[in-house]
């Protein structure tokens, strides 16, 4: 008899258990629905856009499931413009969404629109909106950009350099307005009213590391800081003010009136960098952040006479030196195989018309220029030298 009663009870208990389970499921599905969203951390993207991308189907609309899925801060491939998402359940119908937007490394203009990309070169936004704090990159040729895909730049080396210099500047707390590549892939960075010539993709880490300190000395002035030939060793970096039109001797006279002795010398900073000003400002940068007076041989009290400056306004001594080394431009092949028509020799180095070093070209012991294809050229005549 007892066994029969137990068998009769078993189906009833199962039915009751199923009904309870169904009630619990119904409560979870119907009661725990996202009806209010509190958004924290967004700036470029609206709450509505993020909410739409985050809560996009029946299950993500369930507050309990949403809170469980994003209980730990992390990224989501379906929302590529956010580097971190975390959801906290405040009530069955309200959640708090904490987000972190991806950093924008730069922007290019395509078809009249601003194309923003991250540190990996992924397009994060195509819009008419201009974010002034994001540097504009010029001199890049590319195809039509697609949202959340890599920038379609055919020159992968150029893309890598562009992303590298953007990252280095950001890591050094430098906020450029523009980064420009010329036809020879020389890098020009504009920060406020200062243009920095970095040359080609060589010693970029050393150049930017020293620029972070040197820029503080010229910030607020208008001119060009030439770091083209900088390699990280003890070299002179020149700053030429844009307003200057007087010959060097007159400029030195005017400076002398202002300073009392014809030179302006800054205090040497922690990296051993200092600058002087006459017709140009010479910035002596010590390698590896060595301080003044150490074994590198750098002298913080050096005057403009001890520095080598690169000024477009040549002095009489510069003219004589250039006359010895040859003033007429001649043709050479650089390391990329490009034929350069504006080569000439200055201070024992092969430079272009802007004073930038031509990569792959050297001057041998006989005073002849050897280009990247081993052509030996007489710089005074521009013809191949007889060997």
pLDDT, residue 331, reads: 81
Domain annotation covers residue 134:
yes
* Residues 164-193: tens digit of each pLDDT: 999 999 999 999 999 999 999 999 999 999
Please check whether residues 82 and 109 belong to one and the same domain.
no
Domain annotation covers residue 185:
no
**pTM, full prediction:** 0.59
Range of the domain at 166: 103-173
Among the candidates 101, 123, 138, a domain finishes at 101
Neighbours of 9 (CB within 10 A): 10
pLDDT, residue 99, reads: 97
pLDDT, residue 158, reads: 93
Q: CA angle at residue 76 from 72 to 82, to 5 degrees?
A: 95
Cα–Cα nearest to 301, from 325, 275, 321, 333 = 275
Question: Which residues, given as ranges, of the chain have pLDDT below 50?
Answer: 245-281, 286-327
Domain annotation covers residue 151:
yes
* Residues 338-385: tens digit of each pLDDT: 767 788 899 889 998 888 999 999 999 888 999 888 888 888 887 888
Among the candidates 120, 138, 173, a domain finishes at 173
pLDDT, residue 375, reads: 85
| Total domains present in the chain | 5
pLDDT, residue 7, reads: 55
Domain annotation covers residue 120:
yes
pLDDT, residue 338, reads: 77
């Amino acid at each position: 008899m007892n066994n029969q009663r137990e068998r009769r009870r078993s189906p009833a208990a199962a039915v009751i258990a199923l009904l309870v389970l169904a009630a619990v499921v119904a409560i979870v599905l119907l009661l725990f629905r996202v009806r209010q969203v509190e958004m924290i951390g967004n700036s470029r993207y609206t709450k509505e856009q993020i909410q739409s991308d985050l809560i996009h189907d029946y299950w993500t609309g369930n507050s309990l499931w949403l809170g469980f899925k994003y209980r730990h801060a992390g990224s989501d491939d379906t929302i590529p413009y956010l580097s971190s998402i975390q959801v906290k359940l405040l009530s069955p119908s309200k959640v708090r969404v904490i987000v972190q937007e991806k950093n924008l490394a730069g922007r290019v203009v395509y078809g009249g629109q601003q194309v923003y990309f991250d540190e990996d070169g992924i397009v994060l936004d195509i819009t008419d909106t201009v974010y002034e704090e994001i540097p504009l990159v010029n001199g890049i040729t590319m195809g039509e950009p697609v949202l959340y895909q890599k920038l379609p730049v055919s020159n992968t080396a150029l893309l890598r350099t562009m992303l590298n210099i953007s990252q280095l500047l950001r890591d050094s707390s430098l906020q450029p307005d523009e980064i420009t590549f010329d036809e020879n892939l020389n890098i020009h960075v504009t920060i406020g009213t200062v243009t920095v010539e970095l040359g080609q993709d060589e010693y970029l880490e050393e150049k930017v590391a020293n620029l972070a300190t040197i820029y503080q000395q010229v910030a607020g002035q208008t001119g060009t800081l030439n770091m083209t030939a900088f390699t990280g060793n003890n070299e002179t970096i020149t700053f030429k003010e844009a307003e200057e039109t007087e010959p060097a001797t007159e400029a030195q006279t005017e400076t002398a009136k202002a300073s009392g002795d014809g030179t302006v010398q800054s205090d040497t900073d922690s990296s051993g960098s200092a600058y002087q000003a006459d017709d140009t400002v010479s910035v002596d940068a010590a390698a590896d952040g060595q301080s003044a007076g150490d074994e590198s041989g750098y002298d913080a009290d050096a005057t403009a006479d001890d520095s080598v400056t690169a000024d477009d306004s040549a002095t009489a001594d510069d003219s004589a030196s250039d006359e010895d080394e040859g003033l007429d431009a001649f043709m050479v092949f650089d390391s990329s195989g490009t034929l350069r028509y504006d080569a000439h020799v200055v201070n024992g180095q092969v430079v272009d018309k802007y004073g930038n070093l031509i990569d792959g070209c050297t001057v041998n012991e006989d005073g002849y220029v050897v280009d990247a294809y081993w052509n030996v050229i007489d710089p005074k005549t521009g013809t191949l030298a007889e060997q």
